[in-house]
Structure 1
Amino acid sequence: MRRSKVFIGNSHTELGGLICNRLGVEPAPCTLKKFSNGETSVEIGVSVRDEDVYIVQSGSPSVNDHLMELLILISGCRTGSAHKITAVIPSYPYSKQSKMKKHRGAITARMIANLLTMAGADHVITMDLHANQMQGFFTVPVDNLHAGPTLAQWIRHNVPDYKDAVVVSKNPGGTKRVTALADALKINFAMIQTDRRRNHKPYSSMLNLAQAPIFSVASPRKKGARGAPPTVLPAPGSPLNGTARRASMKLQDGPNTTHGTVPSRRKSSNTRKPSQLGGRRPSLNPGEEGEDDVFDDEEDEGVHIVTAHGVQTARVVQGHVVGDDYLEEESESEAQSEAETRPRLQHTDSSVDLKHALGGSVDAEGSDDDDDEFQREKLITLVGDVRGRTAIIVDDMIDRHGSFVAAAEHCRLNCGAKRVVVIATHGIFNDDCLEQLQACPCIDSVVVTNTYPIPVERRIAATKLVVIDVSAIFAECMRRNHHGESISALFEQMTM
């Protein structure tokens, strides 16, 4: 790369060195230090006039200091008459603050974009933004690279029987990312929804789609009989809409319907419960025959219950899945003791909690990004089938362990998954997150890329951790960008 310079910030020197090795260039000399009063100082030790400058600076635990380093480096290169300045930010800082989650909140990610542009950045290269809409925060071109192809390649080589695995989204907001990975691997996907409990009844007595009847099917056929499909009747208490509504209207007209005589709605002695289906997969199509057929061939008539397949619900207390016999008083006392240790707003009413005193909205409290593993109690629901399969829980970053541990425990303990692999692009691992994932017996592997710096001692101690190198993707993007080539191939074909 002629007439170009690559500067490496202090946030992730290891990744910057790998990128330079891939490009076959030496890092440009610069001095990054702090004055005695805490101010950041940057000295560029080489001429950058009329050259393409690339500054590699990722997010890190010292995000504010390293962000100032990046801005000062960009400004210094602009003052030095650089031809083009590209900020290479593998892990974009403040990306979780990309929307207003609370009243009078700040969209900090947009402010960071404005700072980069005002400092003099002409181009930004990053990977897996928390929300793709963040590209609209910039008035300069943004290349948002994807780690999906690299992660898919790792799954193909390291997950046994990956063709029978299931990609799981730990919250509804990540379904697009999960479906893209599932399409690349040509496998099934599932989704987990975590919701706060709104009453104190045991979850088994609440509405559970895994056990609630969807349709009551009245079949006039006998064993071996063929002919018209059975009439679909709405289950008691269920709303009438679509086909069920039309079927109900036909039943109200009398027994002479297009499907023949309508049998009585009383429960037959031969009717089997969903739990007595012998483990066979229920079919939601009443006219479908085969091994998935839920109709009892030995009975003449009656009402058959068809249940929703692949929906499992469980309780989550203090970030862990618990059984229905878990004491409610114990969970409330633990939540109360935890709440007492948290800071409260200085207010005349001591009962006003910080979250509510700031005027938080319902969306803010129930946000998947701000999930709190120390809430009193939540319900976790898996929509999909992972029984006897490998569950691959995917997200863009791992910063806290609570939601991942709860999802893994639910997949293994309640849904019958034989293996759980947690995969993300950015391994932030705040506080003791990595240690908690390592200690969780329901998680077999934790896979991240090296976009975010992880101390060497933590990587050595975590035997379940796998770090994938993505320096080749950034190096190839920088090379193509310097020579004016297209980078579209990196989004689909670049796998390491």
Structure 2
Amino acid sequence: MRNISIFAGSSHPALAESICERLGIPLSPSTKNKFSNKETNIEIGESVRDMDVYIVQSGCGNVNDNFMELLIMIAACRTASARKVTAVIPCFPYARQPESPYKKNGMPLSRVPPEEVDKYAVLWDGKLPITPVPRALDGILEPPRNVVSGRLSPAPASVVFNVEDGPQVLSPTPSRNLRALNTVIENVISDESDDDEDNDDDDEEEITPSLPNGRSDSLLSLDGSRRLSTISKSNSNVSVLPLAPQPPAHPPTPAFPGAASVGYKHWTARSGTLIANLLMTAGADHIITMDLHDPQFQGFFDIPVDNLYSQPLLVKYIKEKIPDYHKAVVVSPDAGGAKRATVIADKLNMDFALIHKERRINATGSTASSSDMMLVGDVKDKVCILIDDIADTSFTITKAAKLLENNGATKIYALITHAIMSGDAMARIKRSHIDEVVVSNSVPQEEHLSACSKIKVFDIAPVFAEAIRRIHNGESVSFLFESVPY
């Protein structure tokens, strides 16, 4: 292969060497050092001008340092006039971080500056949470242009209306002002009704009052109800501003125990968007990875992303290493991995089972919740094959294995793509009911192999090597989604 250079980061140099050996090219030299203050220094050991550069760096070990090293290597190759820079990231970092701007049990309220608190009223309809909305009389809302049908209920805000003698302001306190205003509105509505009878052929267009930014869902009718007021475009000499009712003295009773104590959560960082922007800003033109925890993560990039699958390798291992696999049951340890496991079960014509984790709020109404793991499917007297994309602390996979054994499973395999195994995960695997843990070498597994005899490793270097070859030659990589290269 010509005009190609493959560099290895500090996270997994053995995988980069295996890829180069598979492609029949040498690994390009590079020097990686750290200054005394832990800053990273990268030196590219050969010319990459007008070359296709591939940098292999996995998201494991010291994730932040390794990711910064990857960014610096990408920028260095881009500065050295590389034609194209591709980041090969077998285990993508930060792929499990939440991307929603708020937690699932609540969205944070916007904070109002103290000096503007008086400009905001509180809207409460008995069903929705208290939401700050601007008052009309402070000039924040655009006043309606014509009459709003209905009678005025007592409210704490002043009302401005126009009559033939000129604009007048009514105080909210005296009841005679409210009665007078209702009388004026009724007279005008009556006059408009007479005009409508005389002009039956005139089509009137109904419009709704709107906010300056185009929103109209927070406006209230004169009777204080939460509905949009209809305004006629016919000539009228009355203009009434919408009024916001005051909140009740006490909030309504929660719909279920613990609902009132759930509360709102702080905003969470959108790390997925940040990681994508950092890679693109550094100069990456292409991303190659495997088994993203959330496939929609690819949408954060404006450059091509090839998300390779480990499923062909797992299917091959099951066929070759597990006796009578067609009698076994493929099990997903959680609902999120159900689709991943069902694909393998369908390819091998095997039974499928699912472990569902259900969370319930305690009867006392406290925020503490209890979780129950429930097995959906029959595993009694059968071999079970757990399928998961990542194992970090191994809590999920070991609890799932215990549940399977309690339900009569005879033997349990666990097939995992990215086995990070941080903390005391290896000790937990040793004590678990899992008979064999099969993992890929997307992250270094030498320490795990020496620490636990249950660990078995399958090689993903052929898949990445073939992907690099096809991309470099302008060929399609869809072949790798269903087949294993030989």
| Fold match by TM threshold 0.5 | yes
Contact 2:289 2:307 in 1 (8 A): yes
Task: Show the counterpart of 1:429.
Answer: 421
Q: Give the corresponding residue for 2:411.
A: 419
Counterpart among 471, 477, 480 of residue 470 in structure 2: 480
- Aligned partner letter, 1:436: R
Structure 2 alignment gaps of length 5 or more: 104-265
* Matching residue of 1:41: 41
Instruction: State the distance in 2 between where 1:436 and 1:81 align.
Output: 48
Deviation at 1:453, TM superposition (A): 1.9
Is the partner of 2:345 in helix, strand or coil?
helix
- 1:177 corresponds to: 340
Residues 276-291 of structure 1 aligned to structure 2 (within 5 Å): none
State the 1:29 CA deviation. 1.0
Which of 296, 307, 314 is the matching residue for 1:133? 296
Measured after TM superposition, the shift of residue 106 of structure 1 is 1.3
Query: Matched residue of 1:7: which SS?
Result: strand
Rounded to whole Å, the distance in 1 between the matches of 2:447 and 2:52 is 36
1:407 matches 2:400: yes
Secondary structure of residue in 2 paired with 1:193: strand
Give the structure-1-normalised TM-score: 0.63
Amino acid paired to 1:71: L
How far 1:157 moved relative to its partner?
1.1
C-alpha spacing 1:26/1:495, structure 2 compared with 1 (3 Å):
closer
Task: Give me the whole-angstrom Cα distance separating, in 2, the residues matched to 1:457 and 1:111.
Answer: 32
Tell me, yes or no, if the aligned pair for 1:166 and 1:390 is still in contact at 8 Å.
yes
Letter in 2 for 1:452: V
Query: TM-score with structure 2 length normalisation?
Result: 0.64
In structure 2, C-alpha distance between the alignment counterparts of 1:10 and 1:475, rounded to whole Å: 19
- Residue by residue over 1:214-245, the C-alpha shift from the partner in whole angstroms, topping out at 9 and shown as x without a partner, is xxxxxxxxxxxxxxxxxxxxxxxxxxxxxxxx
Pick which of 104-113 and 467-476 moved more. 104-113
Name the structure 1 match of 2:436.
Answer: 445
Q: Note if 1:458 corresponds to 2:448.
A: yes
* Per-residue deviation, 1:68: 0.7
Report the counterpart of residue 308 of structure 1 in structure 2. Answer: none
1:117 corresponds to which residue?
A: 280
Aligned counterpart, 1:242: none
**Distance in 2 (alpha carbons) for counterparts of 1:378 and 1:132:** 27
Aligned residue for 1:437, secondary structure, equals helix
Which is higher, the Rg of structure 1 or of structure 2? 2
Look up the equivalent residue of 2:382 and give its one-letter code: R
Aligned residues: 322
Whole-angstrom CA distance in 2 between matches of 1:44 and 1:469:
28
- Give the alignment of 1:120-269 within 5 angstroms: 120-199=283-362
Q: Is the 8 A contact 2:362 2:370 kept in 1?
A: no
How far apart are residue 198 of structure 1 and its match?
3.9
CA contact (8 A) 2:386 2:415 kept: yes
Match of 1:26 in 2: 26
User: C-alpha separation between the residues in 1 aligned to 2:344 and 2:441?
Assistant: 19
The residue type equivalent to 2:339 in the other structure is K
Q: Secondary structure at the match of 1:140?
A: coil
Look up the equivalent residue of 1:112 and give its one-letter code: I
- Equivalent residues of 2:362, 2:369 under 8 A apart: no
2:290 and 2:309 in contact (8 A); partners too: yes
Shift of 1:59: 0.8
1:403-422 deviation per Cα after TM superposition (whole angstroms, max 9, x unaligned)? 21111111111x11111111
Q: Percent identity?
A: 48
Q: What's the C-alpha RMSD, in Å, of the aligned pairs?
A: 1.8
Tell me the secondary structure at the aligned position of residue 58 of structure 1.
coil
How much has 1:461 moved relative to structure 2? 2.3
Corresponding residue for 1:70?
Answer: 70
Q: Secondary structure at the match of 1:436?
A: helix
- SS of residue paired to 2:414: strand
